[in-house]
Amino acid sequence: MPSDKEILLKGASMLGLTLSLDQADRLLNYLNLLSKWNKLHNITSINNHSEAIKKHLLDSLSIINFIKPGRILDVGSGAGLPAIVIAILREDVNVVSIDSVGKKCRFMENAKYNLDIKNFGVINQRVEVYETEECFDQIVTRAFASVSKTISLTSHLICRSGEYLFMKGKAGEESIPPDSKLNEVAIPFSNFERCIIQVNAN
């Protein structure tokens, strides 16, 4: 039976990514930390370790090829997915997670410290009242709200030339702006359907 690391490395390869052994170790250490916290604080509904590799790590890795250098905001980040995965894989970006749930933000802060993720920050606040002097080049959401609602709540935070990346389920389940680009991605070792929707801020 393949090890967790072998599954992660193979799955990443199927997504067109080459993980270093250090990156793979840090991702698995993140998952172990999440599992420990989850027993006490109920951070995520997925408790099965092998399922977590597929539905958390590999799913989050599916967005990496769409990430551009710059500042990224992950809205409603929860346990830090995909924000922490992006920060570990892409040291050329600065990632900020925002979530209104205190225990989830405390977990992300703990993960930042334990995994020594220097290009990652956490904001415990509602996104519609969050203010920042520097806009974000990309805004990512995985399990937050509809496309239209997310845009309305975050339009004050994204750069004029910025881009939204929405991680959604099956294509066609939700109405989207006419100039959007839909990218269907197969998540390795899973029958889960993932659609990544790109929407220009302007």
Give mean pLDDT, residues 3-23.
95
Specify the pLDDT at position 111.
Answer: 96
| pLDDT averaged over every residue in the chain | 91
Quickly state the pLDDT bin for 35 (edges 50, 70, 90): confident
Helix 4-14 to helix 21-41 angle (10° resolution) is 110
| 75-104 residues labelled b (16+ CB within 10 A) or e (exposed) | bbbbbbbbbbbbbbbbeebbbbbbbeeeeb
Model confidence pLDDT, tens digit, residues 48-64: 677 788 888 999 999 99
Q: Give the integer Cα–Cα distance in Å for 75 and 188.
A: 25
With tokens 């606040």, the residue in question is: 125
Specify the pLDDT at position 100.
Answer: 94
Copy the structure tokens of residue 186: 């197969």
Model confidence pLDDT, tens digit, residues 189-199: 988 778 999 99
Specify the pLDDT at position 109.
Answer: 96
Give mean pLDDT, residues 7-14.
96
Q: Give the integer Cα–Cα distance in Å for 35 and 37.
A: 6
Model confidence pLDDT, tens digit, residues 17-26: 999 999 999 9
Quickly state the pLDDT bin for 88 (edges 50, 70, 90): very high
Specify the pLDDT at position 133.
Answer: 92
Show the domains of the chain with their CATH numbers. 4-200 (3.40.50.150)
Q: Give the integer Cα–Cα distance in Å for 11 and 1.
A: 15
pTM exceeding the 0.75 threshold for the entire prediction: yes
| 44 pLDDT more than 70 | no
Question: Over the Cα atoms of the chain, what is R_g?
Answer: 16
| 164 pLDDT more than 90 | yes
Quickly state the pLDDT bin for 135 (edges 50, 70, 90): very high
Which range has the worst mean pLDDT, 35-44, 104-113, 153-162, 181-190?
A: 35-44
